[in-house]
């Protein structure tokens, strides 16, 4: 087991050495980041071991500024002479770059002071044999569920620990260890000429919070069986429910549209919509980077800026963009502490579970899979391949496939009817299923 406390002290010293060398080389400002990762990954298929992989990765990067000229370099070599060479390389690059008046460190006043412990580090002292056994148990739970489960893509267990340290010439330096553990399973089912596959997975900071291997396998098997006998439907317009795992992509599109890089390039369908209503009044979307054990929690962003909970949408009105210091300067605004993206973004749920949402919809489409990337970020026009289930009288009737759903993201946001309580919690974006007003469904 790696002594992370001792390793963090070593990495902090490396960052300090890089910053000191940048000052010696005449840089007016500098920032450096170092990461160290270790992990175990095992996969099984049809009850047999397929792969066992131990990983150990490390890397560091430095950016130096000579006024508004920036140079960056990176290395995976942690020898002292390699560290100095990397800084010198960045300084040499900076001499040939064009001045950018918006480049530079985040403001010193925004640096994180106290850095709370967010309970992100839970190492899993697990032998390879135990990892293999869990994978076999998971896959067996899926394969034994029903004779129609005829094949398997296997089960994979991953356990990783990482340490990240960042510092800059404002005097800021910070770092924290974290862990991420996951178990996934995918199986194939067949009924007559219909053949389908589906999967399930669990992912947590702490192994004790994970779903059991049998539960993961059972969910993978049930999802596969539910899709057997899928068919097309005729082209129509109907209400659509995006199942929670699919609704994540809708919020991801929101994030892309209100991110600084899209805004200052004027390539967003939400351009100039700050303080405008883009959702119904009941919608609240907020971010909590300080959530204990959160999958995307961090006490500071990629520039050392302190993170804090904030609302992006309240009463359906867009209240904040998502900005780094660079994009904020381009827009003549202030950084929102989002260098590196959003952290534990959440849309508040209503009172209905998924079954209640189906009843509210009555007749329409439940989307459980999306294919391709069909969003025009400038206009908001949306069109993606999909699969799922046709619903009548609030009950699932049959699975559907080979369809396309289309609409416009602005209208989809405005037409949000309800958000269910079946919250997807495994990533940086958290949401329940969405019920939307009618969309175009292209089928046979």
How far is Cα 324 from Cα 106, in angstroms, rounded to an integer?
Answer: 8
> What local confidence, expressed as pLDDT, does residue 1 receive?
63
Q: Which of 39, 37, 41, 38 is nearest to 60 (CA)?
A: 37
Other CB atoms closer than 10 Å to residue 281's CB: what's the count?
10
**Strand runs labelled E in 124-212:** 149-168, 173-191, 194-204
Q: Specify whether the CB–CB gap between 185 and 217 falls below 8 A.
A: yes
Q: Which of 225, 265, 201, 262 is nearest to 43 (CA)?
A: 201
Q: Specify whether the CB–CB gap between 434 and 264 falls below 8 A.
A: no
For the residues of 205-216, what is the DSSP string, one character each?
SSGGGSPPHHHH
The full set of domains in the chain, from first to last, is 4-227 (3.30.2290.10), 236-442 (no CATH)
Q: What is the pTM of this model?
A: 0.94
How far is Cα 441 from Cα 235, in angstroms, rounded to an integer?
Answer: 6
| Collapsed DSSP state (helix, strand, coil) of residue 108 | helix
> What local confidence, expressed as pLDDT, does residue 194 receive?
87
| 98, 206, 369 from 427: Cα distances, Å | 38, 14, 17
Q: What is the full per-residue pLDDT of the chain (444 aa) written as tens digits?
A: 678 888 999 999 999 999 999 999 999 999 999 999 999 999 999 999 999 999 999 999 999 999 999 999 999 999 999 999 999 999 999 989 999 999 999 999 999 988 899 999 999 999 999 999 999 999 999 999 999 999 999 999 999 999 999 999 999 999 999 999 999 999 999 998 889 999 999 999 999 999 999 999 999 999 999 999 999 999 999 999 999 999 999 999 999 999 999 999 999 999 999 999 999 999 999 999 999 999 999 999 999 999 999 999 999 999 999 999 999 999 999 999 999 999 999 999 999 999 999 999 999 999 999 998 889 999 999 999 999 999 999 999 999 999 999 999 999 999 999 999 999 999 999 999 999 999 999 988
- Euclidean distance between the first and the last CA atom of the chain, given in angstroms as a whole number: 57
Q: Which of 314, 275, 315, 332 is nearest to 323 (CA)?
A: 332
Other CB atoms closer than 10 Å to residue 400's CB: what's the count?
22
| 53, 160, 266, 325, 378 from 333: Cα distances, Å | 46, 37, 15, 9, 22
How far is Cα 205 from Cα 171, in angstroms, rounded to an integer?
Answer: 30
> What local confidence, expressed as pLDDT, does residue 193 receive?
86
């Amino acid at each position: 087991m790696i002594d992370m406390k001792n390793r963090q002290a070593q990495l902090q010293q490396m960052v300090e050495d890089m910053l000191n060398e940048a000052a010696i080389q005449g840089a007016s400002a500098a920032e450096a980041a170092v990461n160290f990762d270790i992990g175990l990954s095992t996969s099984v298929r049809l009850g047999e071991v397929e792969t066992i992989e131990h990983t150990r990765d490390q890397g560091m990067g430095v950016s130096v500024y000579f006024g508004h000229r920036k140079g960056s370099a990176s290395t995976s070599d942690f020898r002292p002479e390699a560290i100095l060479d990397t800084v010198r390389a960045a300084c040499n690059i900076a001499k040939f770059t064009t001045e950018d008046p918006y480049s530079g460190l985040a403001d010193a006043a925004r640096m994180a002071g106290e850095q709370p412990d967010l309970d992100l580090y839970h190492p899993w002292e697990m032998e390879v044999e135990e990892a293999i056994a869990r994978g076999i148990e998971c896959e067996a739970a899926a394969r034994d569920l029903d004779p129609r489960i005829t094949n398997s893509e296997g089960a994979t267990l991953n356990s990783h620990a990482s340490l990240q340290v960042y510092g800059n010439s404002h005097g800021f330096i910070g770092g924290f260890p974290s862990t991420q553990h996951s178990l996934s399973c995918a199986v194939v089912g067949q009924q007559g000429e219909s053949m389908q596959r589906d999967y399930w997975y669990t992912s947590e900071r702490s192994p004790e919070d994970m779903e059991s291997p049998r539960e993961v396998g059972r969910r993978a098997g049930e999802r596969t069986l539910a899709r057997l006998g899928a068919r097309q439907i005729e082209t129509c317009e109907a209400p659509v429910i995006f199942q929670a795992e699919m609704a994540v992509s809708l919020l991801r599109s929101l994030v892309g549209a209100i991110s600084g890089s899209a805004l200052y390039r004027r390539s967003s369908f939400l351009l100039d919509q700050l303080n405008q209503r883009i959702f119904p009044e009941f919608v609240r979307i907020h971010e909590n980077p300080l959530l204990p054990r959160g999958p995307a929690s961090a006490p500071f962003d990629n520039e050392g800026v302190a993170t804090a909970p904030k609302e992006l949408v309240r009463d359906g009105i867009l209240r904040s963009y998502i900005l780094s210091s660079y994009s904020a300067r381009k827009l003549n605004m202030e950084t929102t502490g989002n260098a590196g993206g959003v952290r534990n973004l959440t849309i508040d749920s209503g009172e209905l579970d998924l079954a209640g949402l189906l009843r509210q919809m009555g007749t329409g489409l439940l989307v459980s899979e999306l294919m391709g990337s069909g969003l025009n970020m400038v206009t908001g026009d949306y069109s993606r391949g999909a699969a799922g289930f046709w619903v009548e009288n609030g009950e699932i009737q049959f699975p559907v496939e080979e369809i396309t759903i289309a609409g416009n993201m602005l209208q989809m946001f405005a037409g949000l009817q309800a958000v269910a309580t079946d919250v997807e919690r495994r990533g940086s974006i958290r949401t329940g299923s969405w019920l939307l007003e009618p969309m175009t469904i292209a089928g046979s």
